Structure 1
Amino acid sequence: MPEYSLRIPTHATSPRIAREFVTSVLKAQQLGDIVDDATLCISELVTNSCLHAGGSAAGAGTGAGLLLVTNPVGLRATVFDTDVTLPVMKEGYDAESGRGLWILDSVTAGRWGAERRGWRAGRGGGEGGKGVWFELGAQRPSGRGR
């Protein structure tokens, strides 16, 4: 399964750049039917990372990492940052903030999660931090005919 990664600085343009990256990858892999949902989810996660991890003492402005793993029927995307605090979907939200995980949960039909796992040298699996992931597209049969 092809893997694509992007280092994302803590900057106002980062969500847009991440959306463009995801769009390019998905179109190249002939997964254009999930582009809109994927870019919405990526935008929410990158924005959250820039707001909550980018300026924290743990994040210290180091930015985030994005890992996309595609397959013929879908995508698994993970946004990594150096903040170890796992995200929690709030009971409610106000008009200005708190909707990101609600949107992610709705768009992915609950196919998302978070784990303490860092990003190192452009790849997942380093020390410290967390990864928030989601999956889109058809679910592949597990272990059948492979």
Structure 2
Amino acid sequence: MGTTNHISTKWLGNMAFESTNTSGYTFKIDVAKEDGGDSSGLRPKALMLSSLAGCSGLDIAGLIKKMKLDVDEFHIETIANLTDEHPKYYDKVVIEYHFYGSNLIEAKLQRAVDLSVEKYCGVMEMFRRFAELEIKTIFHSK
């Protein structure tokens, strides 16, 4: 039996909601004005991409620390294609891992990315169930 997560999401009126994360923090969800909202919160589908990048990023940050790697900067670009037909979902997702530094050990950083993508990141595994994933690792040596 796995762990149960319970999220409480409350309607704030019009098209806005407030959702409480398991961390105890809250965030607002809304849609664009052209869709009837006030554009005052995060978009649900885009939040999925943030969850994907955040989950994998946390894995990699932990591995950078554990492997004592020298990285000046690290960011993830997540570019997703949304289907045209309802229900719209992401069918193709490109995840780019960008590493910056003057002492990058590329093989070890690639290993950290691979471990996250193939073994540790649960959100990545969920995405794999409905989308084609393309992983790119880009090194920017200073």
TM-score, structure 1 as length reference: 0.40
Higher relative contact order (CA 8 A, sep 6+): 1
Larger radius of gyration: 2
